[in-house]
Structure 1
Amino acid sequence: MLTRYMKYSCYLLLGCLLATGCQKLEDINVDPTKPTTTQPQYLLTGAEKSAMDIIYAGPQNGRIGMPYAQYWTGNDKANDSRYLLDEGINAALWNNLYSISLHNLDEIIAMNRAEPTPVSPNQIAIAHILKAWIYQVLADAYGNIPYTEALQEEGNIRPAYDDAQTIYNALLDTLQAQTAAMDPAQGSFDAGDVIYNGNVDAWKKLAHSLMLRLAIRMADADPARAQAVIAANYQQAMAGNADNAQFQYLATAPNKFPYNDSDRPLTEFFVSATLVDYMQSTGDPRLGIYARKAGDSTYRGLAYGTSETNPNRLPPSNYSLPGKKIYAADMPGILMTYPEVAFILAEAAARGFATGADAATHYEAGVRASMEYWGVSNTDSIGAYLARVPYDANDWKNVIGTQKWLALYPQGLQGWFERLRLDFKKPGGDSLFIAPLDGSLDENVTYVPYRLTYLVSEQQQNTANYQAAASAIGGNTKGVKLWWNMQ
């Protein structure tokens, strides 16, 4: 088949060359079976799905996000929990977000601006909101990244890297401008939007919520800007789980959750003892959702960073795998949920920022909303749990930090970022996290990576800009803290 196709292609190319003389080769090299144009709704679906697919894929979430947040540790992928970063997995995260997701969103904006009036400000705004989400993920994972010169394709294949703090401020400005431009009375996406089905009001709430996420992450590095942003946006942000932003996967191929066990058992990762032991100590009703019982009908996590050859490891059946719902084919890809917003406001209130209520109120709302999200509906059980993990103004960082960390499961990257930013412990001050039990495999980091290293391809193909970026942040190692990490 392939030989026949190549022979036919050669005859076709020869005929075209004879017929067209000096016609450019790129004008000939077009596959007539593939569309050369598309529509914004298809680009939007592609952007949403490609971003969720890579962020929640087994290699990226399972081997970077979840272990760095210390939710999971490896069974037969133990080296990832000891910080040996796989360069192919790292490259796929960066390349997919830039080359597919951000590219599609940029095309949506360009198509709307190229169309005769009326242009859809809502389609442009939605694309910008999703771009802001993705760019923050990249900036929080790597530090300085290509931004102003990114996505220029043939115009600039070696983009400069922008300062991450400057990117943060630009994202806040963009989100503010786009929410102001949105108009529910005008057209949006009639199809293609899996997250909100084109609902303009819902997208505006997400934009305000993302501004809260940006603001709280910079709260130690730029408290004045953080306080102002939170005060200006908290009233328009998510107010309940009905506002959650998530990509709903289906139970049938090819639209299943990217890492699911519907077709085969998944045994690459165990839930960490860090998570299991803490949830058991507080009688957390979510434990049976986050993890499965081991073969002896108990919940048992594996000590974080245990090597595959550790002689004290029990047989695999003795450890808890992630919960069935976490591995379900129709598990949604989470962009942001109300529980996170509630914990942002709890922390902001604890810092003295204006949030409309005190920290204890927001904290309780976050715990209750997380329970509701995971299907824990017994109010007595939730009330009893809150009594075991009460809000304490004198220990707000540890109290809010642990509950936010639990609520962010299984958002590995976001859980990792928050672990770094707050450096929280158990309420009361005892350590929650541990260094890898059998040691780190990265000489630059022993306790937890502060960032991902830049791609090898960037070092080779965008050398000058890579070197400038690495120098600006203090070196291209996982041991370099990012600008917002003041702990």
Structure 2
Amino acid sequence: MKRKYLVYIGASLMLLSASCTKDLENVNKNPNSTTSIPPSTMLSNVELATATLGRGTIRRTNLSFDMMAVQQLASTETIDGGEGDKYLKSDNAGNLQDDSYTLIINNAVQLIENVKKDPTQINLLSAARIWKVLVFQRLTDAYGDVPYFDAGKGYITGNVTPNYDKQSDIYADMLKELSEAAAAFDASKTPLGSADIVYNGDLSKWKKLAYSLMLKLAMRMEKQDIAKAKDWASKAIAGGVMSDPTDVCIIKHSSERNDVANPITYTFNSYTLADTKIKISKTFLNQLVSTSDPRRGVFVSTVSGDTTLANLKALPNGLDMNGFNTAFPGDQLQSYATLNTKVILTLTAPTFLLTPAEVQLLQSEMVVKGWMSGDAAGLYAQAVTSSMKQQAAYGAGGTITDAQTQAYLTANPFPAAAADQLKALGTQYWIATFLNGWESHANWRRTGYPVLTPTNYAGNITNGQIPRRLTYPLNEKVNNPKGLQSSLTNQGKDEYMTRVWWDKQ
């Protein structure tokens, strides 16, 4: 829809600030009245919406496509729920793009427009620029070329059919934005305060977020321009990246069944997905079990919440119900393991957007590749420890003791050979980003780790290969054909196996 490139103030904003109800009604009548909404409230909105999106989008892309493509989850579904598991055509693969513009980017762009000429609001401007990069990084990594430079400016410029920009140009601008925004923070200016629901206005945390995003972008562009990748990665390290558990970029959720509840839990409950729709992949559970990973007790349970290993059966990827019944005669799909219903499937379970564990794994990779000096094994251990500790954000059921962490590291030490080191780092990233399937899939495409055996379900459209990207929304072919054509000309066919710019063979 063309409106996705216009300003949209979603329901989540009303939940965050009931006092703005009258203003929101005016917005629906007059888009220019967004200036009457406190800019800080708009920041809260874009932060929250990045985690919640549309629940259908969470289910159909994050869970049922990306997490299944990289074999963290599995399903016997073939329509509206298991396409990533079997590499089937999905009419919903474009949902992430639709919702990202409608619910987040349009508001972020308007926020930037509203405060960019006010020097007292430099901190809000900088935070909005950084957050916009966080959202676009997820978006462009999923699709490749997307509207970027003219996106979200429908009411500003009148352009509701923006061009699709090259991912290489998007990456260059995102790096510039992070560099400028991080340097512009000024503690003497208007503080962000409690409207910042991520860091409560702590500018030092925002700087770490900016430089951590910079590091991720730099590592992702390695195959296209290794010299620039090294330069940007070094700049990120020099600027200061996430290192402490409190640096985590996390969105907390409400216990109410509304737009601020955990979106994964809400959609699981609404569609009873745990029973038969979404299961833990055998590939993922085997990894956790074979290494005695204590995160298994956080991530995996039966439908009733039982985490006893003997009672956990995981579903292989690539089976429909006929295949399941043939492979496991007499078994009931409901008895197979799913997301832990008592720990990570609670309405208050947080959403992790970027974690110290990811950043430490990337730093260890830099040392292994000779991009910087340091202790690769030590950074690996720090990353694993960070990932273990962050599970406590789920509550008592997520607590992993220091003794459990140390036992895991003792049993799974950092390998001696460089090739094995990269494999270990990629595998740990895959585990650490569990539930952030978009990121798990992107890093798997970048590194090739963990090594996965593709499924070859009859009727798949990838010739039995794991997809390399999501496909664009179907409505773009009708509403923005000229803009879409620029991507088809530059990037190639709108297919799962078309590689994005940084995913060079």
Alignment of 1:304 with 2:307, yes or no, is no
Deviates more, 1:136-145 or 1:92-101: 92-101
Contact 1:260 1:329 in 2 (8 A): yes
1:279 alignment partner in structure 2: 288
Alignment of 1:411 with 2:436, yes or no, is yes
1:385 alignment partner in structure 2: 408
Contact 1:450 1:478 in 2 (8 A): yes
User: Residues of 1 paired with 2:404 and 2:311: CA distance?
Assistant: 21
Contact 1:473 1:482 in 2 (8 A): yes
- Which structure features the higher share of helix residues? 2
1:260 alignment partner in structure 2: 265
1:246 alignment partner in structure 2: 250
Give the TM-score normalised by structure 2.
0.83
Contact 1:79 1:441 in 2 (8 A): no
Contact 1:272 1:303 in 2 (8 A): yes
Letter matched to residue 350 of structure 1: V
**Aligned partner (choices 361, 371, 374) of residue 378 of structure 2:** 361
**Aligned partner (choices 157, 179, 201) of residue 160 of structure 2:** 157
Q: Give a deviation string over 1:459-480, Cα, whole Å, max 9, x none.
A: 2222223122112112111111
2:395 alignment partner in structure 1: none
* Distance change (3 Å), C-alpha of 1:480 and 1:140: same
Shift of 1:440: 5.8
* Distance change (3 Å), C-alpha of 1:94 and 1:323: same
Other structure's SS at 1:246 match: strand
Unaligned runs of 5+ in 2: 1-25, 393-398
Task: Could you list the structure 1 runs, at least 4 aligned residues long, displaced by more than 4 angstroms after superposition.
Answer: 261-265, 294-297
Q: Give a deviation string over 1:365-418, Cα, whole Å, max 9, x none.
A: 101111111245433322221122221243222111111111111111000111
Other structure's SS at 1:259 match: helix
**Aligned partner (choices 66, 79, 104) of residue 107 of structure 2:** 104
1:232 alignment partner in structure 2: 235
Letter matched to residue 248 of structure 1: K
Give the TM-score normalised by structure 1.
0.86
User: Residues of 1 paired with 2:504 and 2:315: CA distance?
Assistant: 30
User: Residues of 2 paired with 1:30 and 1:218: CA distance?
Assistant: 43
Letter matched to residue 256 of structure 2: T
Greater radius of gyration (CA):
1
Cα-Cα RMSD? 2.3
Contact 1:326 1:410 in 2 (8 A): no
Letter matched to residue 340 of structure 2: G
User: Residues of 1 paired with 2:269 and 2:85: CA distance?
Assistant: 26
1:142 alignment partner in structure 2: 143
Other structure's SS at 1:120 match: helix
Alignment of 1:455 with 2:476, yes or no, is no
Unaligned runs of 5+ in 1: 1-26, 426-431
User: Residues of 2 paired with 1:475 and 1:449: CA distance?
Assistant: 13
1:429 alignment partner in structure 2: none
User: Residues of 1 paired with 2:215 and 2:498: CA distance?
Assistant: 25
Other structure's SS at 1:434 match: coil
**Aligned partner (choices 270, 273, 279) of residue 270 of structure 1:** 279
Shift of 1:266: 3.4
* Distance change (3 Å), C-alpha of 1:65 and 1:79: closer
Contact 1:251 1:329 in 2 (8 A): yes
